[in-house]
Structure 1
Amino acid sequence: MIFNSAEPYATKFCDYLQKPILTSVDAGTQFNKPSVTIEDINSDEKCMFYTGVPNKSVFYALFDEMGDASEKTKQNNSSSSSGTGRPRSLRLIDEFFMVLMRLRLGLLLGDLADRFFVSKSTCGVICEKWIEYLHLKLSFLTTWPSREIVDKFMPKKFSRKYPNCRVIIDCTEFFTETNQSLSNKSLLFSSYKSHITYKALLGISPAGLITFVSDLWSGGISDKQITKQCGLFELCERGDAIMADKGFLITDLTTPLGISMILPPFKTHRFSRREVEETRRIANLRIDVERAMERVKNFRILSGVIPITLSKKVSKILKICVDLSNLQPPLVHDDP
């Protein structure tokens, strides 16, 4: 960033008038310095609060990997011979920081526009371009590990009883605004939540890393149907085991594929001592997938009622939030 040599005097003068300081970025582009930038973050706690990233070192490491961001996040797709496009109002790193704030804090575009001293429309374009870009750029953070990798990092509490466990799955739902279409209302209505929702299936490895996330489906879809259609079975191998809640009645789908299910016993009678112990053990191991989903929903853009205006990119937003949550400290700590 290029600062005017007379800036100290300008700073005092602007402080006196209680007006924002003007600085310059890129050739000939003037902008008001945002009310908060990544340079203002002075603790890991604040970095997590604003961005969902554990610390500034991780933030900068991510940003350093985005060497093509300037080209991929242009604010227009002009095919003019100059290829310059619209000049940026913010530094590239400020745009990245702003989009992470949008995801982590769920801030409205008008609020972000005021914080970063840009117009609401410019803020909307920046967020839209970066969401498309980050969806592709961060996908490496959520990958399906090989059987060998799963075995290598499997905690002892799994290897003792369920050494073939490949993934622990569960579904989660996200509230959305009521659609005006009656047919869409019927598809999106969740009898479990008694609300219009989106639904996704998440899977974590025994070590606690999110390794699978489906696209968002309508809230009325069953757990069995979403598991069948999301592509999870194509990733599993013969001999693998999937741990799930007893609501996943998919044994008829997994058995022909050579995949076994780890489910709590069904209560058709009074449980024996062995069945009680089995239920307790599976519940204790499955709690990690609940904690993983809680981390994802801590990105507040997903925790409230998602506006209809985000419907076309909400699946991409979910996957970005999953990618970023995988940067946080491990959920599972191996016991001795």
Structure 2
Amino acid sequence: MFPTETGANKTFQPTLLDEDVGDDDDGDTVNDDLDLELSNDDSIQPQLSFVSPSGHAIDTSVHLHDYCMGPVLQPQNQSFRCCDTQTENNCAVMEVQTEESFQGKTADFSSQTEHSTRDFGVQCHLPILTYDDVKYNGDLVSFYTGIPYRVVFEALFDEIKDEAEVRTSRRKLNYKDSDGGRPRTLSVLDEFFMVLMRLRLGLLFEDLGTRFCISTSQCSDIVERWINYLHVQLSFLVQWPSRELVKNNMPKQFKEKYSNTRIIIDCTEIYSETSSSLSLKSLMYSDYKSHMTHKMLVGISPNGVVTFVSDCWVGCTSDKKLTEKCGLLDLLEEGDAIMVGKGFTITDLTTPRGIHPIIPPFKQKGKQFSKRDVLLTKDIASLRIHVERQMERIKNFRILHVNIPITQSRRISKVFKICTYLKNLWPPLVQ
């Protein structure tokens, strides 16, 4: 029971003052008017309360809502009793507490039939930001996804969406099993968009979960599934070209001096968290960066397109060792030239294979560079700078800027390769 005020304060109770019973034209007895007003004398008028026809307080709240226009009145002596004491305390009979609720109003039950039912859809939280919100702005598409244009984004999604519907679904335990798992919360397009935002902006799972109205664990699960899928599905974006294809697209500055150049290579490093293991610290420490790092080798064609990317290695690996073990030399043919920096002392590896290394001249101890050596160093540096520019493009994906957690070390190779694949969608560096 709602508390009622007594003593100095008035007790407002709805009462039935008058009831005129008459006959209409058809001879049926109807209530012409039901007037409700307030009375301070409980002994004169019977007390009324609001309960539903079924006699349940929950049903009463439903009937008093939008489903019907007027209240359902019933004398208090017909109120129900609950099956136990605890339920009886929770199921209080609703009473009117304000004078304005009934003063000067007439109960009308004529429209109850119209409002007896109502359809409700499934309530859900829509993502704060979706691809549809940015697709008409090319700058925002590039900012959030790392893909240059809307047309390129949609063409790439059309290429991978058929298998993505199945391979990234949580309803599947493996590729052949279609039982178990929860249904997909986001659309396939928005999941792809969310994963690219994770790579491009380096957003945390908590932030992405808030933006897309999903839990942090669910966001992490979606990103992990998509990383495994994109690592395989986007690998076609980096291919090893034939010698004829490289020569046909070789820029003028290469044709004049280094026409046999097949690939330009360099290594790059990304920071990693410091491990508590001393042996792992010694393996991952990089003398060049003075930090724990992961190391990768990237190779581009003379026109600036990435044609080779290696797996991630520990930071202590030398440039020569990484070139020998990554499998690049097996792709080169006899007569090819490979342009490298001074740290790649790989002459003993390339000469037996008939591969010519293009390396800047080394300065001999106690001697200065000759005029020829200065011009040669300048020519090689002006052409080799394109591989540095390409690696800068790849590192525009801000997920590579943070210290990679130790728990993500096994996944960093896939992440770096996906970023490299996506950067090949941009126009070549050298036209």
Identity of counterpart residues, as a percentage? 58
Taking only aligned residues, the RMSD between alpha carbons, in angstroms, comes to 1.5
Cα 1:29/1:264, change in 2 over 3 Å: farther
**TM-score relative to the length of structure 1:** 0.88
CA distance in 2, matches of 1:186, 1:82: 45
Q: What does residue range 115-134 of structure 1 map to in structure 2 within 5 Å?
A: 115-134=211-230
1:240-271: per-residue Cα shift (whole Å, max 9, x none)? 01001011000000000000100111111322
Q: Which has the larger displacement, 324-333 or 161-170?
A: 324-333
Instruction: Tell me if the contact between 1:138 and 1:320 (Cα under 8 Å) persists in the aligned partners.
Output: yes
Q: 1:30 Cα deviation (Å)?
A: 5.6
Structure 2 residue 258 is matched with structure 1 residue 156: no
Corresponding residue of 2:201: 105
SS of residue paired to 1:233: coil
What secondary structure sits across from 2:224 in the alignment? helix
Distance across 2 between alignment mates of 1:308 and 1:47: 31
> 1:31, 1:89 within 8 Å by CA — same for their partners in 2?
no
Equivalent residue letter for 2:358: I
Structure 1 residues 92 and 278: alpha-carbon distance in aligned structure 2, compared to 1, 3 A threshold = same
CA pair 319-30 structure 1, distance change in 2 beyond 3 A? farther
Of 170, 178, 181, the match for 1:75: 170
Partner of 1:179: 275
Aligned to 2:137: 43
Aligned to 1:146: 242
Structure 1 distance, partners of 2:397, 2:314, is 21
Q: Tell me whether 1:306 sits opposite 2:415 in the alignment.
A: no
Q: Does 1:93 align with 2:189?
A: yes
CA distance in 1, matches of 2:150, 2:409: 31
**1:247 aligned to 2:343?**
yes
Structure 1 residue aligned with 2:149: 55
The alpha carbon displacement at 1:35 in A equals 1.4
- 1:174 is paired with a residue whose SS is strand
Maintained 8 Å contact 2:171/2:179: no
User: What is the distance in 2 between the residues matched to 1:303 and 1:82?
Assistant: 38
User: Which structure would you say has the larger RCO, counting Cα contacts within 8 Å and 6 or more residues apart?
Assistant: 1
SS in 1 for 2:373: helix
Q: Are the structure 2 counterparts of residues 331 and 30 from structure 1 closer, same or farther at C-alpha, using a change threshold of 3 Å? A: farther
User: Aligned equivalents of 2:253 and 2:201: distance in 1?
Assistant: 35
**Aligned residue number for residue 272 of structure 1:** 370
Question: Which digits, 9 at most, give the CA deviation of each residue in 1:34-85, with x for residues without a partner?
Answer: 1111111132211111000001111111110111101100225437976363
Gaps of 5+ in 2: 1-120
Pairwise mapping of residues 183-222 of structure 1 onto structure 2 (< 5 A)? Answer: 183-222=279-318
The more displaced of 70-79 and 166-175 is 70-79
Bigger share in helix: 1
Amino acid aligned to 1:330: P
Q: Which has the larger radius of gyration?
A: 2
Q: Which consecutive unaligned segments of at least 5 residues does structure 1 have?
A: 1-27
**Secondary structure of 1:145's aligned partner:** coil
Pair 1:31–1:283, CA change in 2 (3 A): farther
Q: Which residue in 2 is equivalent to 1:25?
A: none
Contact 2:347/2:357, CA 8 A, preserved across alignment = yes
What is the 5 A alignment of 1:248-263? Answer: 248-263=344-359
TM value normalised by structure 2: 0.69
Q: Find the aligned partners of 1:75 and 1:180 in 2 and give their Cα distance.
A: 34
SS in 1 for 2:329: helix
Separation in structure 2 between the aligned mates of residue 195 and residue 172 of structure 1, nearest angstrom: 13
Q: Following the alignment from structure 2 to structure 1, what is the Cα–Cα distance between the partners of residues 182 and 240?
A: 39
**What SS is found at the alignment partner of 2:142?**
helix
**Mean Cα deviation higher: 297-306 or 100-109:** 297-306
Aligned partner of 1:69: which letter?
A
| Distance verdict in 2 for CA 1:90–1:214, change over 3 Å | same
Could you say which residue in structure 2 is the equivalent of 1:226?
322
| Secondary structure at 2:330 match in 1 | helix
SS of the counterpart of 2:262?
A: strand
Distance verdict in 2 for CA 1:31–1:203, change over 3 Å: farther
Indicate the residue corresponding to 1:22 in structure 2: none
1:272, distance to aligned residue in structure 2 (A): 1.8
My pick for the range that moved more, 215-224 or 69-78, is 69-78
Q: Is the 8 A contact 1:173 1:219 kept in 2?
A: yes
Q: Is the 8 A contact 2:172 2:180 kept in 1?
A: no
Q: What CA distance in whole angstroms lies between the structure 1 residues aligned with 2:407 and 2:171?
A: 20
In 1, are the aligned partners of 2:208 and 2:219 still within 8 Å (CA)? Answer: yes
Contact kept, 8 Å, 1:168 with 1:206, in 2: the verdict is yes
